[in-house]
Amino acid sequence: MYEMRADPATADTNEVTWHVMAGIESAGVTLCGRQILTAPYPPAGQNAVSERYCAFCMAAFRAAFGNGLAEDCQS
């Protein structure tokens, strides 16, 4: 199972980006190569205007698991 972590919003974007962590021993590295050492959820009191998913992390995850995810959901 993979963990998602929020990359904190910045003052200029006010947008939280969710990343997929590279694994249990990832030392805070995401599938797209960013290092996120924060908790797996946005910091308390941070009101992001919007949230999105990192396209690079999602593409790497999709490439690794392919259509197997859809098959698992149907069983």
For the chain, the domains span 4-74
Q: Edge-to-edge, what's the strand order for the sheet holding 4-7? A: 4-7, 15-20, 50-53
Residue with tokens 């021993």: 25
Does residue 75 carry a pLDDT above 50? no
> pLDDT, tens digit, for every residue of 8-62?
766 666 778 889 988 766 678 889 988 887 666 665 556 666 788 999 999 998 8
> pLDDT, tens digit, for every residue of 3-21?
888 887 666 667 788 899 8
